[in-house]
Amino acid sequence: MDKKNDNNDQLTDWKKKFEAETKTSSADDIIINTDEGIGIKPLYIEEDIKNLNFVDVESLPGYEPYTRGPKASMYVNRPWTIRQYAGFSTAEESNNFYRKNLEAGQKGLSVAFDLPTHRGYDSDDEIVMGDVGKAGVAIDSVEDMKILFDGIPLDQMSVSMTMNGAVLPILASFIVAGEEQGVAVKDLSGTIQNDILKEFMVRNTYIYPPDPSMRIVADIIEYTSKEMPKFNSISISGYHMQEAGADNVLELAYTLADGIEYVRAALSKGLDIDDFAPRLSFFFAIGTDFFMEIAKLRAARTLWYKIMRDFGAKNEKSLTLRTHCQTSGVSLTEKDPYNNIVRTSYEALSAVLGGTQSLHTNSFDEAIALPTEFSARIARNTQLILQNETGVTNTVDPLAGSYFIEKITDEVASKAWEIIQEVEELGGMTKAVNAGIPKLKIEESATKKQAKIDSGDRVVVGVNKFQNPKEPKIDVLVIDNEKVREDQIKKINLLKGSRDNQKLEKSLNELTEDAKNGNNLLYSAVKAIKNRATIGEVSKALENVFGRHYATSVGVSGVYGKYFEGNEEFMHVTKKIQDFEKSYGRRPRVLVVKMGQDGHDRGAKIVATSFADIGFDIDMGPLFQSPKDVAKDAVENDVHAIGVSTLAAGHKTLVPELMNSLKEQDPENKIIVFVGGIIPEQDYDFLYEKNISAIFGPGSNIIESAEKVIDLISDKNNQ
């Protein structure tokens, strides 16, 4: 029997059965389109994996193009590293948390710093009073860094640090803390994120403009390649792109394009590619699209091999992409939050089946507040269960050979490669970032995703379907921001009172001169830190030369509204806004703002662009404003409402300040204030007592929120 003809007959018969069961005219018409623009068919066969562009279906793990994994043995030899990202309050509190987790089975540390540290401010700076210790640990000097790792031998423990803006003083503090612990710099192991390009795209915890920032990246790559052979000089991060709304193809393409730019920056230092490329690492988000996330990781290794080969790399370690992954934060919901345990579990499984080298699993309560010890234990144990109970470590790349997986891996790679070529045509990622193109594409993707959820086209269990009639009460971790700041200021004052100021000034002046003359900045930063310079003082010494970067805000338009053409609910709210305009001679005007040092602006951008599409007149405030500045802008621009986006737990400090400033500048109290973001329910009454008009938590429907706001504005104007 002719097998090919037999298969064709069977396929024809299958189509008939499928069409009868689904009551459709043609099986070929049933296509599910993903966010990435990839059409998913109901059936994949051997024919689908012939003549692929990037994937070699016959390749083996540990062999080029490394689709199946960077190591031949993968988890059969050693499972991925459980590396939980954590940091809060003071160095003392975080150290205690780390030691407990290490005793409970965690294998590596991943440090989260607070926003003032990220932005190069000391805790005693008035500009950061609402942010100290809130969304990470406050580090003001090497003394804090020493406390952070007290009792944790840095010659034995791999440490990952998520730091970009203040990367020089933080890495210098880590080096000095190791030395004063008795560990030579060459024996330190771990990773510093050091990925500044994505900060300009999405996360916004930058300090200096793009060009000097890229110089700092190159200096760190150069220093670590010479002095720290066990340390990864950069973690090229797509995670924050996906969190900001990028689909998997955008995340992959822009992450690898960033990687290309960093390679070029290092080569400009005169380094040989194989001197530094083995220590480059990556960081990807893992969202809810199970198979697409697996395909993304396999495609990432495939494309990076091609990129590095084109650069002339010969060392196998230069050619292999190694990655850390973290489950999605944006997929976590405030409503029915125990569902988040399930979401995180299958996201973790997706990362593992995709071949990650290390993994962080989010805690289920992170859509509400910082994780508690209870929720952090569940998150960590999710990985321990995967490693010890499921059998996923018994074989290498178990999904290889799947027609579906191999095909979509190739499709993801092909689409990502097209975008990488577009970036190259612009002159590379720095020029693309300066032009604002990646930022706009990511914002467009984010707005489309929100529209799908709000319209019900995308089901989020417990949010827009299958809602829980009795929302559970969740205990949350509360950080006493004022107490943390007081403690940090005491430590800063003690440090300043005990150091040799003459030596300090000399080393800071040396750092400033190196910034002017082009010398490697990490060497002089280490000297300054040894002389007990603070994080803020080192950052300021560089700022005196480089300046501080301030971004202009540009949003997308028409994306959200286009999705709701003809939608009755959308048109109902639009009519209310039109009626308001007829009555008062202008559209309702809303100022959307971020306050403090929190640069995560996805929520603010989505609200601004979608509200504009619905019919509001929208002003978008600049990042990092003080409450006083926001109040001033609101009054001067005669807005009807202020929408405050908060994700970093500063709402109990910053919002009351805003209300007090508004009262001073607008005694008639004509402006309403609404707040959205990560706000525990237990804080609602506190905010309402401060005269907040409405609170919208994660997952709030935009159209419903818009109707609430226009009703509040109308009521206020009718008084």
Active site residues: 85, 239-240, 594, 598, 600
DSSP codes of every residue in 335-367: SSTTHHHHHHHHHHHHHHHHT-SEEE---TTTT
CB count in 10 Å sphere of residue 421:
12
Locate 265 and state its tokens. 């920056």
Locate 369 and state its tokens. 């507040």
* Crossing angle (nearest 10°) for helices 481-498 and 651-665: 100
DSSP state, 202?
Answer: I
Locate 146 and state its tokens. 């020493």
How, if at all, do strands 358-360 and 589-594 pair?
unpaired
| Cα–Cα distance for residue pair 406/247, rounded to 1 Å | 19
How, if at all, do strands 358-360 and 323-327 pair?
parallel
Q: What value, to the nearest 5°, has the Cα angle with vertex 133 and ends 131 and 136?
A: 105
| Cα–Cα distance for residue pair 11/19, rounded to 1 Å | 12
- Cα 438 versus chain centre, distance: 15
Rg (alpha carbons) of the chain, rounded to whole number: 26
Q: Give Cβ neighbours of residue 298 (< 8 Å, ≥ 6 apart).
A: 55, 67, 68, 354, 355, 405, 409
Handedness of CA 654, 658, 659, 663 (dihedral sign): positive
DSSP codes of every residue in 641-662: EEEEEE-SS-HHHHHHHHHHHH
Q: Give Cβ neighbours of residue 291 (< 8 Å, ≥ 6 apart).
A: 350, 404, 405, 408
| Cα–Cα distance for residue pair 658/482, rounded to 1 Å | 17
Q: What value, to the nearest 5°, has the Cα angle with vertex 550 and ends 649 and 429?
A: 100
**DSSP percent split of the chain into helix, strand, coil, nearest 5:** 55, 10, 35
Instruction: Identify which of 503, 476, 513 has the alpha carbon closest to the alpha carbon of residue 681.
Output: 476
Q: Contact 237/429 with Cβ under 8 angstroms?
A: no
User: In 115-209, which residue ranges form alpha helices assigned H by DSSP?
Assistant: 115-118, 142-148, 167-180, 197-198
Q: Contact 353/391 with Cβ under 8 angstroms?
A: no
| Cα–Cα distance for residue pair 236/259, rounded to 1 Å | 6
β partners of residue 160: 110, 191
Instruction: Identify which of 99, 111, 102, 107 has the alpha carbon closest to the alpha carbon of residue 78.
Output: 107
